[in-house]
Structure 1
Amino acid sequence: MFDLSRLGAWAALPFFNDTLPAIQTNLSTETRNILPPAHLVFNALEQVQPDDVRVVILGQDPYHTPGKAHGLAFSITDEFGGKLDSLGNIFKELESDLGLSRRTTQLDDWAAQGVLLLNTILTVPEATPKGHANLGWQSLPDQIFARLADQPRAYLLWGGPAQKAARAVDPQSNLKLETPHPSPLSAYRGFFGSRPFSQTNAWLRSRGHPAINWGDPEDL
């Protein structure tokens, strides 16, 4: 079902031998449409190799509307054209925080700069949020964070599931920013005004690293 040939160094994680086969067996019996398409499920890992990760943004599960999710947490395909929901609120906070008015909804340019856009669950049935919450996906983030513990990184943990998944991340050696999820249901409970983008860039600069360009890719 999944082509793992593009995973690079991530393929060494035990998850792919120990856990993924059972997930694939369960997915093979799924009668509902599975999102994102199989070739995009591991898109986040394919785009950013472990040693290149500078920032981790952790979400929950993919968008459950066809044509919206493409394997990067919170990112929306440029062709979608529908409601932005959480991403729209992320863009509002970005403009408030850094004065950047971003139009491009597909966040591949963030990944190209070392931002790992990861969900705690990597598949979802169409129109059924968290419908694959019990398949075993959650062991993958655990192993990813263990792999990334070799050097300090910035972690933007949006929502309770993300914060729970990253509880083992050391807040002393890493930048660990925990806020409510940017969804329309919770963004006003503390996501707005949290200034994650400026805080992350300040932390990166303090360590001698270049800042992330969170604006449109043409501004790179």
Structure 2
Amino acid sequence: MASPPLPKAWGHLPFFTQEWPGINSAIETDPRQILPPVHDRFAALDLTSPKSTRVVILGQDPYPTPGHAHGLAFSVKPNVRPLPRSLNNIFKELTDDIGQCPTSGDLRGWANQGVLLLNTALSVPAGDANGHKSLGWTKLVHQVLDLTSQRPTAYILWGNAAQKLESFINPGDHLILKSAHPSPLSARRGFFGSRPFSTVNRWLSERGEATINWTAPSEALE
């Protein structure tokens, strides 16, 4: 199995010399199908560089259903129907918040505008959700949060797992939004009605920055 090329803009992080070799070895020796495909493993970091990151949304691990995950948290390949339930709830909240949502579950349009869609594990065995939770990926997330928070950034932390990582965000003029996770198990306990998308755009606008076009199709911004 070929190793994925490292994301150039993030390749200086200590993770890639310290933890990555062991993680990569464990993945290469795992006989199961590992998702997302190798070429998509670092897609979130490839699409959104440290300098372009303005918003960070943390997910958990890739979708364990073959054909769904393509390397960005919560995002799915353009042809996936029906949408995963968490993403469907995100789109419901987005519609309630700003009046519309994208036409597909492919969120690369967000990534191309500076929204880093990072899972806290970047691999998963097919059919085994959280199967690589303890593989060592969390060191990467810690370092990404440390780097991105060296300048003002908006962080969207959905659910307890993401919120526990807040301690790795450096103090600064950040926007930190916390609510329940969009999962069907918790969405009605504070995710619905939280309006994170308009809140982020209001914060960006107040800073004199371009707002995020949350409904932009991925192909329009590539």
- Output the amino acid matched with 1:90: I
In structure 2, the residue matched to 1:185 is 185
Judged with a 3 Å threshold, the aligned counterparts in structure 2 of structure 1 residues 64 and 97 are, in CA distance, closer, same or farther, namely same
* SS of residue matched to 1:176: strand
Cα distance in 2, alignment partners of residues 170 and 10 from structure 1: 18
- Contact 1:36–1:71, Cα closer than 8 Å, also in 2: yes
Q: Is residue 45 of structure 1 aligned with residue 8 of structure 2?
A: no
Partner deviation per Cα, 1:152-201 (whole Å, 9 max, x = no partner): 00000111111112322246521000111111111111110000001000
CA RMSD of aligned residues (A): 1.6
How many positions carry a matched residue from both structures? 219
Percent identity of equivalent pairs: 50
* SS of residue matched to 2:149: helix
In structure 1, the residue matched to 2:132 is 132
Q: Is residue 70 of structure 1 aligned with residue 70 of structure 2?
A: yes
Partner deviation per Cα, 1:81-139 (whole Å, 9 max, x = no partner): 23431110000000001111322210111011000000001111111110001110000
- Output the amino acid matched with 2:139: S
In structure 1, the residue matched to 2:5 is 4
Cα distance in 2, alignment partners of residues 219 and 94 from structure 1: 19
In structure 2, the residue matched to 1:18 is 18
* SS of residue matched to 1:79: coil
Cα distance in 2, alignment partners of residues 131 and 51 from structure 1: 32
In structure 1, the residue matched to 2:151 is 151
Deviates more, 1:146-155 or 1:166-175: 166-175
Judged with a 3 Å threshold, the aligned counterparts in structure 2 of structure 1 residues 202 and 73 are, in CA distance, closer, same or farther, namely same
- Output the amino acid matched with 2:121: I
| Cα distance, 1:33 vs structure 2 | 1.1
Cα distance in 2, alignment partners of residues 101 and 48 from structure 1: 21
Residue correspondence of structure 1 range 64-213 to structure 2 within 5 A: 64-170=64-170, 173-213=173-213
Cα distance in 2, alignment partners of residues 140 and 170 from structure 1: 15
* SS of residue matched to 1:116: strand
Runs of 4+ in 1 over 4 A off after TM superposition: none
5+ residue gaps in structure 2? Answer: none
Cα distance in 1, alignment partners of residues 91 and 11 from structure 2: 33
- Contact 1:138–1:165, Cα closer than 8 Å, also in 2: no
Cα distance in 2, alignment partners of residues 39 and 113 from structure 1: 21
**TM superposition score normalised by structure 2:** 0.94
* SS of residue matched to 1:155: strand
**TM superposition score normalised by structure 1:** 0.94
- Contact 1:213–1:219, Cα closer than 8 Å, also in 2: no
| Cα distance, 1:60 vs structure 2 | 0.5
- Contact 2:83–2:105, Cα closer than 8 Å, also in 1: no
- Contact 1:59–1:159, Cα closer than 8 Å, also in 2: no
- Contact 1:62–1:123, Cα closer than 8 Å, also in 2: yes
| Cα distance, 1:21 vs structure 2 | 0.5
Deviates more, 1:140-149 or 1:158-167: 158-167
Cα distance in 2, alignment partners of residues 155 and 212 from structure 1: 14
